[in-house]
A and B are shown apart, each in its own frame.
Chain A
Amino acid sequence: MIAADRPDRRAAKLAVIDANGEIRHMPRTALAHLLRPGDLVVANDAATLPASLAGRHDASGETIEVRLAAWLSAGDPTRFLGVVFGAGDYRTRTEDRPLPPALEPGDRLTLGPLVAVVDEIAGHPRLVRLRFTDTRMAVLGGLARHGCPIQYAHVPEKLALWDVWTAIAAAPAAFEPPSAGFTVDWAVIAAWRRRGTEFATVTHAAGISSTGDALLDQLLPFDEPYSIPAGTAAAIARTKARDGRVIAVGTTVVRALESASDAGGAVRAGDGVARGRIGRATPLRIVDAILTGVHEPGESHFELLRAFGDDAVLRRVVRTLAQEGYRNHEFGDAMLLERRPARTAASAAAA
């Protein structure tokens, strides 16, 4: 995922797709001077929890892996929605992982130094509401010592926290990294500042992206809490007033900003929860362009892009990026996709 991004960060590519669907190719470093004075870049500054916990199902004695997948109460690290896997780890594709033992409310899970109790089965035999039996401080200590970042079989190297925290990572809120944020470093923020392009952040608790189980994946994304600083809401208002563009770094920022938007095109500062999916029929009130990794059709991330571009354009983008050798997942290549003109968006929503 990210470890592979490190050696050739400078070689990473960027596809820029304008509102008319025209595609231009450039090095990703062009981000520093590509945006206009008066534009605003909004990124997700969530740091990523070590949300994969190896352990044991006490009742059966079987080995399990729990992946913390979403908050039950924002910022309370003693209660989580979790997905339970059978024996094994990230090196086996999630689709091929053995099922966990049958889970019942009241079951105890021993996860390294931590003990969690299954409070409830949450609509799928492998999806549980978990409660750790320790204090907040002890749970954070246990996660820090025992937890690993959630990762997938396409990256063979074991990831550490420093691989999954973006340069701007602040408070630990996400379960998987807001990976588009890997395109942002302090030098590019400084370059934007020099050009008069503003930078702001939201904190959005990006949840688990995939479970390998088709039924369970249909429930994704889970509800994701977010927090929008007053300064960010004000920067968006300023940007709209001067006809600048709001550029979201990653799908999580789109979810947060659109979820907090009102019909007048303003964003409410404060805490909220993003529910449901953004797709073709979702009107974009705030975000004018998205900077994102390269996603495949069918992924929920890709579905969100349909709010920005017509299917014909997106099909052409996918085809062209494959021809040009862009790497998908979080391998460092990226695209900047400007949304279709608002008129078209409205007619698409009405259709």
Chain B
Amino acid sequence: MPTHTDLSQLRVAITGGTSGLGLALVRLLSAHGARIAFVARHAQAVAQVAAQTGACGITGDVGRKDDIYPIALQVTGNLGGLDVLINNASSLGPVPLALLADTECEDIEQALAVNLLGPFRLTKALIGALAASAREGRGAVVINISSDAAVSAYPGWGAYGASKAALHHMTAVWNEEAGADGIRFLSIDPGDMDTPLHALAVPDADRSALRRPDDAAAEIMDALLAALPAACLAALPANCLAGEQR
């Protein structure tokens, strides 16, 4: 379905946009014409992906409280608003993975900062823009990337799993609370993918058995399009934006 979808009116922010699933999402949604701002920590990688895709690159760390509002300012300043936020950036916690009893407090704090507090803070900073989009009939969707480690108890994945479980639950609560304001929240588990994060966690994994991030990105795009108002997507320029054109 997505191949012929014109997303040129869709404004999307993606965190963790320079590797793995985030990079695949930046590439896929850019290829469909969406207007994208992505966030990542390393300026050089950000510049490279921005040059390759034409997306707007923002250097920042969603795990740092002081970075959140500067990121939000650049997202809405560059895109002129926001329809979709994809909280994708993730931290494993301890690397290599460690049993909880061996996990340093600083490592679980880092996992919570990036995987839970980061999405919370960035969503809070951008929810005004998302609600404005919903009020204009464009729809508004927040996708939080989850994991099967949020549900199943895998030894060694305690910090990551606990942070993703909390994110998953927060997503569900937020979906209940913000539904009346027109904002949908989705928690999506993309499966085990062949990404730098997975390589950190399981260095000796059989990569051929892992999902390609591109496939997971395509599935997430389908879920995203399904969550947006149908009338809005089918004829976004005609129906949805007529109001803006006076």
Q: In the assembled complex, how far is the CB of residue A168 from the closest CB belonging to chain B, in whole angstroms? A: 5
Contact A140 B128 (CB under 8 A): no
- Whether A189 touches B73, Cβ cut-off 8 Å, given contacts A45-B132, A269-B243, is no
B56 — which chain A residues lie within 8 A by C-beta?
A: 137
Binary contact track B2-32/A, C-beta < 8 Å → 1, others 0: 0000000000000000000000000000000
Stretch touching chain B among A54-62, A158-166, A293-301, A312-320: A158-166
**Cβ of B58 under 8 Å from chain A:** yes
**Cβ of B96 under 8 Å from chain A:** no
Closest to B134 in A: A231
Contact A171 B135 (CB under 8 A): no
Contact of B77 among A172, A229, A271 (CB under 8 A): A172
Complex CA gap A73/B74 in Å reads 18
Number of interface residues of A (CB under 8 A): 39
Stretch touching chain B among A21-29, A63-71, A141-149: A141-149
Contact B76 A172 (CB under 8 A): yes
Q: In the assembled complex, how far is the CB of residue B130 from the closest CB belonging to chain A, in whole angstroms? A: 8
Complex CA gap A57/B64 in Å reads 33
A201 — which chain B residues lie within 8 A by C-beta?
A: 132, 135
Contact A161 B70 (CB under 8 A): yes
A186 — which chain B residues lie within 8 A by C-beta?
A: 127, 177-178, 181
- Whether A165 touches B132, Cβ cut-off 8 Å, given contacts A140-B78, A231-B137, A268-B246, is no
Closest to A48 in B: B73
Q: In the assembled complex, how far is the CB of residue A127 from the closest CB belonging to chain B, in whole angstroms? A: 24
Complex CA gap A223/B127 in Å reads 28
A170 — which chain B residues lie within 8 A by C-beta?
A: 76, 81, 128-129, 131-132
A268 — which chain B residues lie within 8 A by C-beta?
A: 246
Contact B131 A230 (CB under 8 A): no
Contact A172 B73 (CB under 8 A): yes
**Cβ of A12 under 8 Å from chain B:** no
User: Contact residues of B with A, CB < 8 Å?
Assistant: 56, 58-59, 66, 68-74, 76-78, 80-81, 125, 127-129, 131-132, 135-137, 177-178, 180-181, 242-246
Contact A171 B77 (CB under 8 A): yes
A224-275 contacts to B, CB under 8 A, are 229-232, 268-271
B69 — which chain A residues lie within 8 A by C-beta?
A: 144, 160-162, 165
Binary contact track A196-226/B, C-beta < 8 Å → 1, others 0: 0000110100000000000000000000000
Complex CA gap A68/B136 in Å reads 29
Instruction: Give 19 pairs: A residue, B residue, CB < 8 Å, sorted on A.
Output: A45-B128, A75-B80, A77-B77, A137-B56, A137-B74, A137-B78, A160-B69, A161-B72, A165-B69, A170-B81, A171-B81, A172-B76, A186-B177, A203-B132, A229-B244, A230-B244, A231-B135, A231-B136, A231-B243
Contact of B70 among A137, A145, A229, A231 (CB under 8 A): A145
Complex CA gap A169/B81 in Å reads 11
A154-184 contacts to B, CB under 8 A, are 160-162, 165-172
Contact B73 A50 (CB under 8 A): yes
Contact B78 A136 (CB under 8 A): yes
B68 — which chain A residues lie within 8 A by C-beta?
A: 162
Q: In the assembled complex, how far is the CB of residue B38 from the closest CB belonging to chain A, in whole angstroms? A: 12
- Whether A171 touches B76, Cβ cut-off 8 Å, given contacts A144-B70, A269-B246, is yes
Contact of B128 among A47, A141, A200 (CB under 8 A): A47
B137 — which chain A residues lie within 8 A by C-beta?
A: 231
Contact of A47 among B73, B177, B243, B244 (CB under 8 A): B73
A167 — which chain B residues lie within 8 A by C-beta?
A: 128
A229 — which chain B residues lie within 8 A by C-beta?
A: 132, 135-136, 243-244
Contact A189 B181 (CB under 8 A): yes
**Cβ of A193 under 8 Å from chain B:** yes
Complex CA gap A247/B244 in Å reads 23
**Cβ of A4 under 8 Å from chain B:** no
**Cβ of A190 under 8 Å from chain B:** yes
Complex CA gap A166/B125 in Å reads 10
**Cβ of A83 under 8 Å from chain B:** no
Complex CA gap A166/B131 in Å reads 13
A230 — which chain B residues lie within 8 A by C-beta?
A: 136, 242-244
A307 — which chain B residues lie within 8 A by C-beta?
A: none
Complex CA gap A34/B153 in Å reads 50
Complex CA gap A137/B46 in Å reads 13
B242 — which chain A residues lie within 8 A by C-beta?
A: 230
Complex CA gap A162/B181 in Å reads 21
Binary contact track A121-140/B, C-beta < 8 Å → 1, others 0: 00000000000000011001
Q: Which 3 A-B pairs have the closest CB atoms?
A: A230-B243, A270-B246, A144-B70
Complex CA gap A161/B67 in Å reads 11
Q: In the assembled complex, how far is the CB of residue B154 from the closest CB belonging to chain A, in whole angstroms? A: 36
B128 — which chain A residues lie within 8 A by C-beta?
A: 45, 47, 165-170
A269 — which chain B residues lie within 8 A by C-beta?
A: 243, 246
Closest to A272 in B: B246
Q: In the assembled complex, how far is the CB of residue A45 from the closest CB belonging to chain B, in whole angstroms? A: 5
Contact A200 B73 (CB under 8 A): no
Complex CA gap A232/B66 in Å reads 34
Complex CA gap A161/B129 in Å reads 15
Complex CA gap A53/B56 in Å reads 24
**Cβ of A49 under 8 Å from chain B:** yes
Complex CA gap A139/B65 in Å reads 22
